[in-house]
A and B are shown apart, each in its own frame.
Chain A
Amino acid sequence: AQSVTQPDIHITVSEGASLELRCNYSYGATPYLFWYVQSPGQGLQLLLKYFSGDTLVQGIKGFEAEFKRSQSSFNLRKPSVHWSDAAEYFCAVVPEEGKFYFGSGTKLNVKP
């Protein structure tokens, strides 16, 4: 079955530490890939997206993500987390027809 998996429900990191949020997908072909961030009670903000080309994509707020075809993964990274990064992060794929399929989300807590 087609799916988007974010295996980590909650992650806690210290401010200044590095971060990696995992995302795996299972689709026949390479879909379009996205990472969104959602603050409590808010809508979604696009962090970055991958359509084709360079597999390491840069986004806003210092985030980057790497597409690895062999692993069907699109993990989100940030070298140094700030307290304002505490939020919920969603990976999304668009395999066809413009329909977004979201992962279950990873809630990030940042310790001072």
Chain B
Amino acid sequence: GAVVSQHPSWVICKSGTSVKIECRSLDFQATTMFWYRQFPKQSLMLMATSNEGSKATYEQGVEKDKFLINHASLTLSTLTVTSAHPEDSSFYICSARKAGDNQETQYFGPGTRLLVL
């Protein structure tokens, strides 16, 4: 159990368009989901923490109006990159924490590679 999926796995878009990435917990309820960004040859950086039914908490330096997060259900969180630009090209990874699990247990999705032309 504890499988997290992301859709799409790859997306290419034109500059100025918006892109939505989905993160789903397939076989468990996730009260909290996390969004990370990984630039080429760099580590993962936490962008925001998403709690079901409430507003996301963004890390310092991450624009909340640029990266819209919606955690509408216990199995789905979405990240929308609004008005994407080439510098937003990155690998976006989500993780999910099971309801009832301790804070340190997270299950990671396979990631979504975004390329903005």
Q: Which residues of A are interface residues toward B (Cβ below 8 A)? A: 32, 36, 41-46, 49, 51, 90, 94, 97-105
Is the pair A99, B46 in contact by a Cβ cutoff of 8 Å?
Answer: yes
With both chains docked as a complex, state the minimum distance between the C-beta of A109 and any C-beta of chain B, in angstroms: 14
The answer to whether residues A98 and B44 also contact, given A43-B108, A43-B109, A44-B108 and a CB cut-off of 8 A, is: no
Is the pair B104, A32 in contact by a Cβ cutoff of 8 Å?
Answer: yes
With both chains docked as a complex, state the minimum distance between the C-beta of B32 and any C-beta of chain A, in angstroms: 7
Q: What is the predominant secondary structure among interface residues of chain B facing chain A? A: strand
Within 8 Å by CB of B93, from A43, A46, A51, A101, lies A43
The answer to whether residues A94 and B104 also contact, given A42-B110, A100-B34, A101-B46 and a CB cut-off of 8 A, is: yes
Interface size on B, residues (CB 8 A): 21
Is the pair B110, A43 in contact by a Cβ cutoff of 8 Å?
Answer: yes
Most buried by A among B46, B97, B108, B111: B108
List the A side residues contacting B104 at CB < 8 Å.
Answer: 32, 49, 51, 94, 98
